[in-house]
Every structure is written in C-alpha cells, then in structure tokens.
Amino acid sequence: MAEEKRQFQAEVGKLLDIVVHSLYSNKEIFLREMISNASDSCDRLRYAAITEPDLLDGGSEFRIRLIPDKDAGTLTIVDNGQGMSHDELIANLGTIAKSGTSEFLSRLTGDAKKDVTLIGQFGVGFYSAFMVAEEVTVISRKAGEAKGWKWVSDGKGEFTVSPADEAARGAAITLKLRDGEKEFLDAFRLKSIVKRYSDHIAIPVTLKDGDTDEETVNSANALWTRPKSEITPEQYREFYHHVAHAFDEPWSTLHYKAEGAIEYTGLLFIPSSKPLDIFHPDRKQHVKLYVKRVFITDDCEELLPPYLRFVRGVVDSQDLPLNVSREMLQHNPVLSKIRTGLVKRILGELKKKSEDADGGYDAFWTAFGPVLKEGIYEDFERKTDILDLCRFRSTQGDGLTTLADYVARMKDGQDAIYTITGDDLEQLKKSPQLEGFRAKGVEVLLLTDPIDEFWVSAVPSYAEKPFRSVAAAGADLSAVKAPEGAEDSKEDEAPADQLTTLIEAVKLALGERVKDVRASERLTESAVCLVAAEGEMSMHLEKMLRAHNQAPGERARILEINPRHALIKGLAARVKAGGTDGDVEDAAFLLLDQARIIEGEPPADANAFARRMVSVMEKGLLG
Ligand code: ADP
C-alpha cells in the first residue's frame, strides 16, 4: 500500500496551532507525555496478555527506551507495549476523543497567555511533541499483528500513513527536534526530566547515550507500593498528573493500605480544579484498578459511585485474581467491599478537610459540591454523612453554611429548613417569595445547582427538620414570631370582606389560568407572587425540565396577593361583590403576568399584556 495523506480533525488542527505557537515555558513536559503514553500502552498489553499470552511474542519484559541521536538531531522514545494498528494510528493521533474537548476549545480566547494556562489544565498529550519537534514519526506494530505502520507529520494540518513492515511490537516515536530544542539530546538533561516527572513510572525507562551502556533512569517500581515516608510531594504530584491526565495540583492526596479481611492499597487524589467533563452524562468514575501491581482497567464502574467521580488515582487489590475479566468485576463481592472502604475513606477525608479552616474546603465545594450532592439521594446509607459535608449559600451572610449551623440558627417556632431554588444567586436573593421570611428573620437556603431540585424533593429531613420550599404553598410562618417592632398587624391589611370579594373577582377573571388565588403570608413588599401547590413540582424544576423538552405542559399555579400592599388595598376597596369591572379584570391579568415575569417567565399573552399595560398607564397618567 502506498502512502496515504490525511487531514487532522479540525479540533486537532486548532490545538496544534496553539501548541506550536504558544510560548510555553515548560516544553520539557513533552517527555512526560510520551513516557506516560508508553507506560499506559505497556500496562494494557500486560493485562491483555493474561488471557492471550501470545500477544507477548517478542518479549515479556516491558521497557521504555530513550534514544537521543545527536548526529541526526532526533530523540526517539521506544516502547514494547501494545502498539497501534493502522486504524488506531489514524484515530488516536489524528482526532481527539477526550470528552470535554469541545468545551475546552470553546473556552480558548486567542490570547496566548490565557490559552496556555488552559492547555496546561486540559493536557495536550501526544501533541505536546510538536512543541519541540518540527516533525514527528511514529512507527508502530500492534501486538498480535504481523505488519507495522509509519505515521509522519509536521503538525501543520496533515499527516501520512504508510506500511512499515519491519516494525517491532509497540511504538517508536521519533522527534526531529527544532533548532532551538537540541538540549533534549543531552543525556544529563533527559535524566533529570525523567527523574522529575516520570520517576514513578513502574516500567523501567532507560537511556542510551551514544556508545555507553543503556542505563535505567527511573525508580521503576509502582509508587503506591513505596512507603509513604519515602515519597515526596512532588512525586505524588507527578504521579497524579500521570494517572489523572490532569495538570493541576492535587487538593488532597490519600495514600493508605487496607489490611484485614480485604487487602488493597489506595492512592487517591482529589483535584483542585474542576475537570471539563465532570458533568459528562456517562458519569464515569476515574480510579484505575490494579491487581497485584498489574493494570486491569480504568473503566470499572463498580469501584466508586458516580457521585465520587472527581476522585482520581489507583486501587491495587491483593485479593482479586489476575485474570479477572470484565464480567467477573460485576457484582464482585471483593470489589464491593473495596468500594465500601474507599467511599468511607474518601468521605472521612472530606470531613477532616472540611473541619480544617485553612484546608480550602470552600473551593473544593465550589468545584465538586454539585457532584457530591448526587450522593444525597443515590447513597441512602451515607445520606447524612454527605449532608454534613454540604455547604450552602443562604439569606444569612455571604459565605457558605453547613446544615448543622443552619439548624442551630433556626427561630423559635420554625419547624422546617427552608429552601428556594433557581438558576441565579442574585436573582434568587431578590425573590418576593423571601420577603415574609426576611421580615421574620427566618433564614432560607439559596439553591442554584440543577441537582438541588432533585435532592430537596427526595430527602425528607435533616436532624429531623423537614426541607421545605418557600415557593410551595405549605410554607407557613405563622408560628414564628416576628422581631420586636415588625409584627404584622391585621390593621395594615385590606378589610377581610373586601379582600374576599377581590379574591373572588380575580379568580373569576383568571379562571383556569390559576389554580387558586389566596391572601399571602409571605409577601411584605411585593403585590403578588406565584407559588406551587403543595406536593406539586416546583416552578423552577418545571422550567428546567421544559428546557430539556421533558415537562408536561405548564401547570396552573397559585397566585398569592399581598393584603398589606397599597395597590391590593385600593383594588379591594373598589371591587364590588358580584359585579364585573373591566379595570379589576385588567389588573388581575397584569398582576398574574407580573408574577410570571418575576419567576423568569414571559407573560402568558404578550400582546394582551402590552394592551392592558397601555390602557392602565393611560388612565393613570392622563387621567
Ligand atoms: P491521552 O493519552 O490523554 O488519551 P494522547 O494525545 O497522549 O491522549 O494520546 C492519544 C492516544 O494515542 C492514546 O490514548 C493512545 O491510544 C494512543 N497512543 C499514544 N501514544 C501511544 C503509544 N506509545 N503506544 C500506543 N498508543 C499510544
């Protein structure tokens, strides 16, 4: 077969452009990426060979070799891992399969400095080779296949693939270094880079410098098997970068050996910044499973529940058999015990961190709270532990509060934990629903994560206090005493008989458009608001579902009117029992539309709204 020419996927093209033109100061990390990929590839082959030993024809000793060639100006990284087939070369090195890629690209600004920081977090993997190389050649033969392939590109939009019959198993990646990058041929420099970033790689990384003997330059044992006291924070960090394919600082590092009925070692990390794909619908967990130091899979759902999918790292089991298959991993009792242990450790670590005022827990919470909260209703047994880890914005103060602190601040006579849900914190703070709560000094939790809608309706209570939405009809504050001097007085209200007549007239005018009309306890300043009937879906949830085309048609709500408001009092004074009054009817519609607008919804009939508004304004302004 002759040479094939192919284009990089558009996204890769963009990425390469930035990689090549960025003034990235930390170019040496390309080597870490190459070694990391080589090591992953060896791990995968080692596992595949447990069931298919023939795959190891050509050698079972894994090794990653660095071969600088000063005459040719090239650095070659060779591994004897699983290699890539023709199609895999094209797919893996010509496209980006990573989830979060489009999100990442959409955040690029064109400002080189900002973009480099972003790339640092995203990780460009293989493409980082083009930071130092003007041309990259990959010669690879996939384990089990007879023929190899050669992939060549200058990173400018195209690559070629052609047969390479003599290729050895694995991959040999040759970087033709740019003129300014010849330092990466220097043995001393290469050794120090490997020590710095790749010492933890469990496979030997060797260096062949000219005619000297090949020497191993890393420690070549699995980092998690070493005693904690012998591991430096830098080594932990580099290992985290390798396993997580992430490039931030780990916020928390948890390294322990579980002994007893079940034996395993866990080396777990919680990132400090939010990965772009954390809300990917697959909700996959990201801890890798090893058995007796052999990599098994990075796709083991049973290892951790989805609500801990922000955790990275490895778990190495002593009890599972090496030839454990995918099917065996399902409903595996050993694995389920490991999972229980991991969840306990992680939640324990979070608790510890949350109690440490300088531990940066608030930043963790801001990044991962929305994920952890899924556990409130998915992990029944740990519900309370998770609720204890939760932090909330509230109407009291600007910081975050715990539920325990909220409960401690509850007013005499207050029998529920009040919540309000919405998209936007500032908007929520202004909601008329909160007026009565504010007047009585009752704190309300302001919930703005989509997930909040689901757990508040699924979890009955915390510390025996039920959660209740302020926007639901049942929110009753009558038992809570108002602060001195701010008591409600019936004298401020429209007289009861007038009010009843007004309510009847409004009901008559609005008909099916509302479920009910009531005098409100919760309003102090606004004239009207809408609330959901007891037991019905909240308006915010309905809106969220509608945005995803999942909701039934809009439901009629309860319109509450404020009997202490001047407008309502005025209307009540003029409305006549049993009679019809065009003005009152217009007012009823305008009030309903106003309540809708405050909820972030359009008036039911924009034309009618405008017509009524003009008519009322004309009467008001022009007499
Ligand atoms: P990532 O490693 O994050 O998936 P990379 O850009 O580093 O992204 O690599 C892309 C893919 O190319 C890898 O997922 C892997 O499938 C393949 N690959 C890269 N280097 C090698 C290698 N040395 N041997 C086998 N496959 C490789």
Q: Kindly write down the DSSP assignment for every residue of 212-266, as one continuous string.
A: SPPEE-S--S-GGGS-GGG--HHHHHHHHHHHHT--S-EEEEEEEEE-SSS-EEE
Please compute the mean of the pLDDT values over residues 102-108 and round it to a whole number: 76
Q: Residue 312 C-alpha to ligand 1 middle, in angstroms?
A: 19
Residue nearest to atom 17 of ligand 1 (CA): 92
- Contact status, residue 107 vs residue 118, Cβ threshold 8 Å: yes
In the structure, what pLDDT confidence band is assigned to residue 493 with cuts at 50, 70 and 90?
confident
Q: What is the C-alpha to C-alpha distance for residues 20 and 276, in angstroms, rounded to an integer?
A: 23
- Atom 21 of ligand 1, residue of closest alpha carbon: 37
Q: How far is the CA of 40 from the centre of ligand 1 (A)?
A: 8
Alpha carbon of 37 to ligand 1 centroid (Å): 5
CB atoms within 10 A of CB 398: 6
Task: Please report the pLDDT score of residue 600 as a whole number.
Answer: 82
**Confidence grade of residue 164 (pLDDT, cut at 50, 70, 90):** very high
DSSP 177: E
Is 121 part of any known ligand binding site? yes
Tens of pLDDT, residues 2-61 = 899 999 988 888 888 877 776 667 789 899 999 999 999 999 999 899 889 999 998 999
pLDDT at residue 480 is higher than 70: yes
Interval between CA 92 and ligand 1 midpoint (Å): 6
Closest Cα to atom 20 of ligand 1 = 37
Residue identifier of the C-alpha nearest atom 18 of ligand 1:
37
Nearest-angstrom CA–CA distance, 602 and 101: 35
Instruction: Name residues contacting ligand 1 (CB within 6 A).
Output: 33, 37-38, 41, 79, 81, 83-84, 92-93, 125-127, 171, 245
Q: What is the mean pLDDT of the chain?
A: 89
Return the ligand 1 atom nearest residue 125 CA. Answer: 7
**Pick from 606, 511, 600: which is nearest to 559 by CA?**
511
326 is in an annotated binding site: yes
Reported confidence tier of residue 556, pLDDT bands at 50, 70, 90: confident
Whole-number pLDDT of residue 539: 79
Closest protein CA for atom 1 of ligand 1: 125
Q: Which of ligand 1's atoms lies nearest the C-alpha of 79?
A: 23
Q: Mind listing the domains of the chain with CATH numbers?
A: 4-221 (3.30.565.10), 225-361 (3.30.230.80), 391-487 (3.40.50.11260), 490-622 (1.20.120.790)
Phi, psi for 174 (deg, rounded to 5): -105, 125
* Centroid of ligand 1 to alpha carbon of 12 (angstroms): 14
State pTM to two decimals.
0.82
